[in-house]
Amino acid sequence: MKHYSKFDGKRVLIWGYGREGRSSERFLREFCSPAEIAVFEGKREDIDEDKYDWILKSPGIVMPEDHPKYSSQTEIFLEEFRDRVIGVTGTKGKSTTSSMIAHVLGECLEQKVILLGNIGKPCLDYYGEIDENTVIVFEMSCHQLAHVRVSPHVAVFLNLFEEHLDYYGTMERYFAAKCNIARFQTPADRFFVGAQVPAVATDAVKTVIAFGSEDNYHLQVLGEHNNYNAEFVYRIATQVYGASDEAVRASLKTFCGLPHRLQRIGEKDGVTYYDDSISTIPNATIEALAAIPGAYSVIIGGMDRGIDYSALVSFIKEHPQYRFILAYETGRRIYASVGECDWCCLVEDLEQAVATAKRLTPAGRACVLSPAAASYGYFKDFEERGEVFRALVGV
């Protein structure tokens, strides 16, 4: 059986006992020999740091500074397996690109491919399944990257938009967290980065990929941004793993996408409905309207995390061909910024928004839920928001 020796004889505190905290406890009991395992869910100032050798922090807990005594599942995993890891981050497109990479490599390589991280089960749940022949695709959120001191062998940084300011306070701190995906790479590593991303310090071999590739990968998923994501996948599969051009292109064509991401959920009374509940920033909503055939009405609004909505406000003012249905906290903020116009209306919640969309959207056109805001405070998560939307539409 595998054994992780770093915690042998050590006193370990698990700070946070959600899904990842419980996973950390299972890992410690199965693969480690600590002297003590304790669990804590309170504030940092109530932790007796002198009492523990290591503190494993869950990613959702805010801690502004790095500290040598604090570690995480992500850091432990990278310490063990970083040479087999393709890490994927970015404000938008992480889940789709990670899934696309796993799909393509799974079909093109004679190796086991595991997809994990922010998209699925906690990474240490897979600790016992990984061998020397395993390729690991790790979707890495900013929270998972915030305090790591190890970077993956192949790092992907897709894009950077204003997000999570309620957690980080500034874009500089948010960006710094994401930069850890490449900060500790070596000259033997590879870094694939979007041209829009500011300069990232790394020793890896860097490949810059611009949005708007002239190559068309003939995807089943909608949107030019997904063709951009596919460009990363193509470069990694062919340049790093030696897969053939033909095999990669054929595999990309069979990728079907993920739920709640420009997902066509059906037709009702001649109107086609799309669920893009994953949309939490203005750029995502603008891209959704460009991607969806016959788009007419769009439902926007959710939790206000203090991000800049000026680009979306300008877009709304300049596009009277759409009907913008605004709800919740950010909906009210956007509505006040836009001012009264015939193609913009304010409602209370998703139920009223769907009822309004049914009334406004003509047969032969499309309605899309693309909130440009977080779901928290109104729904458990973006998945629940999408499922409620589907139920209200009745398809």
Query: Domain map of the chain by residue range?
Result: 11-71, 74-253, 263-393
Q: Is the pLDDT of residue 12 over 90?
A: yes
- At residue 354, the pLDDT reads 98
Per residue in 40-95, pLDDT tens? Answer: 999 999 999 999 999 999 998 988 888 999 999 999 999 999 999 999 999 999 99
| pLDDT attached to residue 81 | 98
Judge whether 158 and 174 are in contact, CB under 8 Å: no
Q: Which residues contact 238 (CB under 8 A, 6 or more apart)?
A: 244, 245, 248
Strand order in the sheet with 205-209: 112-117, 134-139, 85-89, 154-157, 190-194, 205-209
Residue type, 221: V
Q: Can you tell me the distance from the alpha carbon of 103 to that of 107, in angstroms, rounded to the nearest whole number?
A: 6
In this prediction the pTM is: 0.91
What pLDDT score was predicted for residue 144? 95
**Distances, alpha carbon 56 to alpha carbons 7, 62, 71, 300, in Å:** 11, 13, 5, 37
Q: Could you give the percent of the chain with pLDDT greater than 90?
A: 93
H or E, element range at 24: helix 19-31
User: What separation in angstroms does the CA of 52 have from each of 11, 44, 272?
Assistant: 5, 13, 56
Name the CATH code of domain 74-253 (choices 3.10.290.10, 3.40.1190.10, 1.10.10.2840, 3.30.2130.10). 3.40.1190.10
Q: First CA to last CA across the chain, in angstroms?
A: 49
16 — pLDDT class (breaks 50, 70, 90): very high
Q: Which two tokens mark 181?
A: 């995906």
Helices then strands, counting H and E runs in the chain, come out as 13, 16
Pairing of strands 344-346, 323-326: parallel
Q: What pLDDT score does 214 carry?
A: 80
- 245-253 and 224-235 helices cross at what angle (nearest 10)? 150
Contact 154, 174 (CB under 8 A): no
pLDDT at 318: 97
8 Å CB contact between 277 and 382:
yes
What single DSSP character describes residue 199? P
Q: Which helix (H) or strand (E) holds 138?
A: strand 134-139
Q: Which of 250, 260, 270, 370 is nearest to 315 (CA)?
A: 370
Query: In angstroms, rounded to a whole number, what is the distance separating the alpha carbons of residues 329 and 213?
Result: 36
Structure confidence by residue, pLDDT tens digits, 167-208: 788 999 999 999 999 999 999 999 999 999 999 999 999 999
pLDDT band for position 163 (cuts 50, 70, 90)? confident
Q: 200-249, pLDDT tens digit by residue?
A: 999 999 999 999 878 899 999 999 999 999 999 999 999 999 999 999 99
- The answer to whether 74-253 and 263-393 have equal CATH topology is no
**Is a pLDDT exceeding 80 seen at residue 35?**
yes
Considering the domain 263-393, what is its CATH architecture? Alpha-Beta Complex (3.90)
pLDDT band at 121 (very low <50, low <70, confident <90, very high): confident
CB half-sphere exposure, 311, CA atoms < 13 A: 12
Per residue, the 3-state secondary structure of 30-62, as one string, reads HHCCCCEEEEECCCHHHCCHHHCCEEEECCCCC
pLDDT for 119 equals 86
Greatest CA separation for the chain: 68
> What pLDDT sits at residue 340?
81
Mean pLDDT, all residues of the chain: 96
pLDDT at residue number 343: 97
Q: What is the DSSP letter of 10?
A: -
Q: Would you say 119 and 95 are in contact if contact means Cβ atoms under 8 Å apart? A: yes
> Could you give the CA distance from residue 241 to residue 267 in angstroms, rounded to a whole number?
41
53 burial via Cβ count (<10 Å: 0-12, 13-18, 19+): middle
**pLDDT for 375 beyond 80:** yes
DSSP label of 341: -
